[in-house]
Structure 1
Amino acid sequence: MAVSALLRTSAVVVAPGGAARCHVLIRNNSAVVDQFVFTVRGAPADWTEIKPAVANLMPRQEVSVELTFRPPRSHEVPAGEHPFALRIASREDPAGSVVQEGVVTVEPFTEVAAGVVPETSTARRIGRHTLALDNLGNHPVKVEVGAVDKDERLTFRHKPARLELPLGHTTFARVDARPRKYFWKGENVPLPFKIVVAVPDAQEIELDARLDQKALIPRRVFWLVSILFGLLMVLVIIVTLLLRQQPVSIAGPSPERPSSSAVTTTTGSAASTTASSAPSSAPGTSRVAGGGGPSVSAPTGGRAVTGRFRIETRAYPNVGGGPQLFSYVVPAGVRYRVLSVVLRNPAADTGQLQIRHGSSVVGTVDLAVINRDGNDELTFVPDDPPLVGPGERITLAVVCTNRRDPCTPTGDFTAALVR
């Protein structure tokens, strides 16, 4: 064999980022001058330096070759054993080349980088933060994630709380911060805290984070409620003003309707006059259109004699020349004092209705008022009940503002017979 080699140290220990050396004794066993080339094979070849790389040896001459191992401080060189081989190639006798094998042990080191996104979260109930962990060391490492709030205004939840970080990878965890107390309105409240990562054999990592707590009710809701309340107040004022403009006199409850009874004959000249002047009585209320007579109730016991009559209308919309008139003519020999009128608007017509005694206006009612709040009738009591004599008219004057259909309000009059 043209060459012989002796590796003085077959096992070398080196720290990442540091250097370790070993020596190989090379001897030329041939009888001629020979040149030898030294190369390293295996994973350590990228971070191994050979001095000298080439040697020319005389016969029986020796040389010491130094191998310097410099593994980088990176996750690309894992901790542990890395076998290598030193090949000594002869130029004169290629078949006589030899190989020396050894092992380089790279010591472990721990390095973890961490970041939080977002650093500041804004929420009403839960602030969510994502923790990114990079293992920059040369061996897998297990870490624990926690959070600290020195003011104790937050509670935390970690998903997961313990992680194993592989080499050269980024691992994510979620940290949720929840306020212990809530508030309904106001400006955002900053709640700072720290995320703590416990790394074995290394210093803890602390990251600053913050939750800006928002009020439970957004500010725009208060603005909206204020605007709606203002609009409601304006609407109430408008409706109040419109109601005050209606010249309607409504006082007291609806007068009781007399029970059905027949006309009784009374003695004396006054009773004879009443019986002769009033039409035949009938139970209940009779309907009279135009000049029909009223229904008269004359109970015994000295009470006043009352009568009732109805005026029905049918007024057409968009008719010029003023309101349309519908009258009742008091028959001869009778005088009435109008006590009250029950107005009905079953079709929910729109417009205006006036109660007239001859040319005098007793009262004015808006048809829409009759049906307000679901009521189907309205009782009108005159402030000064008119006295109506024979041949005089009680009139309903109607102004119809419907779009198409005619207005059909009615009035049931209750009157006292005056002798």
Structure 2
Amino acid sequence: MGATTSLASRQLSVTPGQSIEAKILVRNNGTLVDQFTLDIVGDSREWTEVEPRVMNLMPGADGEATVRFTPPRNSSVPAGQVPFGVRVLSREDPQNSSVAEGVVDVEPFMDLQLELSPKTSKCRTRAVHEIVVDNSGNYPIPVEVITNDPEEQLKLTLDHSSLVVQPGTSAFLKLKAKPHDRFMRGQDKRLPFGVTATSGELPPINAEGTVVQQQLLPKWLLPVAVAALAAAVVLTVLWFTLVKPTVQTAAREAGKQQAQAENAAMMEQVDQAEKKADTAEDKAVAAEKKVDDMAAGGGPGGAGADEGARGATEDSKGVNIRTGQAVDFRITTDADARPDPEEFDAFDVPEGAIPADKTLVITDIILQNPRGDAGTLQIKRGDDVLYETGLANFRDLDFHFLEPLVFSPDKPLTIDVSCQLPGAPEPATGKCRPSVSFSGRLSGPSAG
């Protein structure tokens, strides 16, 4: 009952970007007319087709189908052997379905690129460039980076020169260029240099750059110095011709006025002193009378006390977002690859990281996409999208906020990911795994 299958070739080899075919024979071992459905199982199913996918066979009859393998020419399919299976499902007897197994060998291909950023820099003492080595092939490539200075006018230094670039990734190197000679004034000098990436299996790849060396003294310094000297001369002439005589005349008039004012003040002080003397004499007479009255049996009166008032202030909001317990945590995503860019998977803060009665205050965010996934990532507060970016735009990206982001229990922090193309080495699992790290504080009780 059911079906038997056989592959004409169980071991195949294919170059990425090209196709190879294999024939599979299907026999109806049952006693009834049966319909058989063929499909592919294994890691090669994304780039493998079978035709026809459905065939109807009389009892004891044979049918032939073609299996076509077409791996894409990119880093999503690593070089090496990929097992596959052609499954034949019987409609009349599904329990006796069969699978024909084989192996397709994906041949390696190389696609190495070298980029220098910026190609031209300007400096007075030192310039910094970035070297980017991209591996768009399907296997790791060891690379040696060499600098060259044809005119021997620069000191070129790499932070490291040997590296292994994984498929579908980029390696970054920092290059410092320091001119041997300096000059105070003069025209800009153009100093060319080159960078070469070599691998034992590839021809050398070259990139050229230029350092534009400028004079040590800024070009604006001499005009500013001349203008300042001219302004000083003009101010000196104005001082001796106009300002100084005017100041002297004004000083004499001010002296006269001050002397008159001082004389008037002295006369007023004399009058006030005489009035105070009269008042003191009157007070002395009153005091003598009070003493006489007390001697006659009189007594002093009672005394009172003033009462003060105290007040208090209170924060009406109940939460101070500038203080609180430090907190940091990481949200790691595990999004399924989907063709529709509008479909998102949501990921929450790890359980137990944020207490239910606390307000989360975020001051720092680090976005990480080390595998080179392609898609969209959103940071949300409740239903509001605070930040949205494409995964292909970054590998590591950090933000620091002067005005922090505040998340309350009714508007929690979530991460949404729409995954279109997982990066290496995830295409086999169909998962995108970017992550976001957060740092901040916990304040409480929660506002609202």
Does 2:35 match 1:35? Answer: yes
Q: How does 1:377-392 map to 2 (within 5 A)?
A: none
Q: How does 1:273-352 map to 2 (within 5 A)?
A: 318=252
Q: In 2, Cα distance between the equivalents of 1:237 and 1:52?
A: 102
CA-based RMSD: 3.0
Does 2:150 match 1:158? Answer: no
Q: In 2, Cα distance between the equivalents of 1:95 and 1:107?
A: 37
Q: More displaced, 214-223 or 33-42?
A: 214-223
Q: CA offset at residue 80 of structure 1?
A: 1.1
Task: Extract unaligned runs of 5+ from structure 1.
Answer: 242-316, 320-400, 406-419
Q: In 2, Cα distance between the equivalents of 1:402 and 1:81?
A: 108
Q: In 2, Cα distance between the equivalents of 1:199 and 1:124?
A: 35
Q: CA offset at residue 234 of structure 1?
A: 7.8
Q: Which residue of 1 aligns with 2:189?
A: 189
Which has the higher Rg, Structure 1 or Structure 2? Answer: 1
Task: Determine if contact 1:81/1:103 at 8 Å carries over to the other structure.
Answer: yes
Q: Which residue of 1 aligns with 2:141?
A: 141
Q: Which residue of 2 aligns with 1:177?
A: 177
Q: In 1, Cα distance between the equivalents of 2:172 and 2:153?
A: 25
Q: CA offset at residue 192 of structure 1?
A: 2.0
Task: Determine if contact 1:141/1:200 at 8 Å carries over to the other structure.
Answer: no
Q: How does 1:2-401 map to 2 (within 5 A)?
A: 2-227=2-227, 318=252
Cα deviation per residue 1:149-207 (whole Å; 9 max; x = unaligned)? 22222221112212221222232111122112111111211112222222442232222
Task: Extract unaligned runs of 5+ from structure 2.
Answer: 242-250, 260-448
Give the structure with the higher percent helix: 2
- Cα distance change on mapping 1:108 and 1:238 into 2, 3 Å: same
Q: CA offset at residue 140 of structure 1?
A: 1.5
Cα deviation per residue 1:353-375 (whole Å; 9 max; x = unaligned)? xxxxxxxxxxxxxxxxxxxxxxx
- Scaled by the length of structure 1, the TM-score of the pair is 0.54
Q: In 2, Cα distance between the equivalents of 1:77 and 1:318?
A: 96
- Cα distance change on mapping 1:318 and 1:216 into 2, 3 Å: closer
Q: In 2, Cα distance between the equivalents of 1:186 and 1:101?
A: 75
Q: In 2, Cα distance between the equivalents of 1:86 and 1:230?
A: 91
- Scaled by the length of structure 2, the TM-score of the pair is 0.51
- Cα distance change on mapping 1:62 and 1:239 into 2, 3 Å: closer
Q: In 1, Cα distance between the equivalents of 2:236 and 2:33?
A: 119
Q: In 1, Cα distance between the equivalents of 2:257 and 2:126?
A: 58
Look up the SS of the partner of 1:203 in the other structure.
strand
Q: CA offset at residue 52 of structure 1?
A: 2.1
Q: Which amino acid aligns with 1:58?
A: M
Q: CA offset at residue 227 of structure 1?
A: 4.6
Q: In 2, Cα distance between the equivalents of 1:239 and 1:63?
A: 112
